[in-house]
Amino acid sequence: MDRLLDRVLLPVASQADAEATAAAIDGYDIGETVAVHVVEKAGGAPDKASVQQREEAAIEVFRVLREALDRPIETEIRYGTDVAEAIFEAAHEIGASSIVVTPRGGSRWIRLLTGDVALSLVTETDLPVVVLPDVDREGDTEEVVDDE
């Protein structure tokens, strides 16, 4: 097994994201998987949604991922004002060998509004980041970055 995929951190943002991620990593020889969901905090203002509501949603996301992967995974909920930063922090703390992301594209507008976490993950990283194509988005390859 490639050591890069020994202990992989999978950031998952939503149920659809979990499904896309599971489909994307299908077929790769991945060792241990730690799924991380980051609850974005406003850092001093009320959040977009109740923290507990986000935590409950995260449990659902993990459940979808577990069912899609059909194998045991570790899961973790993290909190942070900067989602990418929280993911890096988690990756170091759990001793991840790499972060595996499946960017789900979307229009410029959507990416602007949601902060394009995938881009931050790739550009600000100090850990290997493996970017996998979103297999569900057929024929829409322009936004997919292939990893060596």
If the CB atoms of residues 67 and 146 are measured against another protein, the closer one turns out to be 67
- Taking the CA atoms of residue 23, residue 70, residue 5 and residue 100 in that order, the dihedral angle to the nearest 10 degrees is 40
45 near another protein, rule: CB under 8 A: yes
If the CB atoms of residues 77 and 84 are measured against another protein, the closer one turns out to be 77
Q: State the number of binding residues for another protein (CB under 8 A).
A: 43
If the CB atoms of residues 29 and 148 are measured against another protein, the closer one turns out to be 29
State the nearest-atom distance from the C-beta of 148 to another protein, in Å: 23
Cβ partners under 8 Å of residue 132, min gap 6: 21, 24, 25, 28, 100, 101, 102, 147
The DSSP result for 58-114, as a single string, is: HHHHHHHHHHHHTS--EEEEEEESSHHHHHHHHHHHHT-SEEEE------HHHHHHH
**Sign (positive or negative) of CA dihedral 73, 79, 84, 89:** negative
If the CB atoms of residues 109 and 148 are measured against another protein, the closer one turns out to be 109
State the nearest-atom distance from the C-beta of 138 to another protein, in Å: 19
Binding mask 71-110 for another protein (x = CB under 8 A): xx----xxxxx------------------------x---x
Which residues in this chain contact another protein in the complex, by CB under 8 A?
A: 13-17, 30-33, 39-55, 57, 59, 63, 66, 70-72, 77-81, 106, 110, 113-115
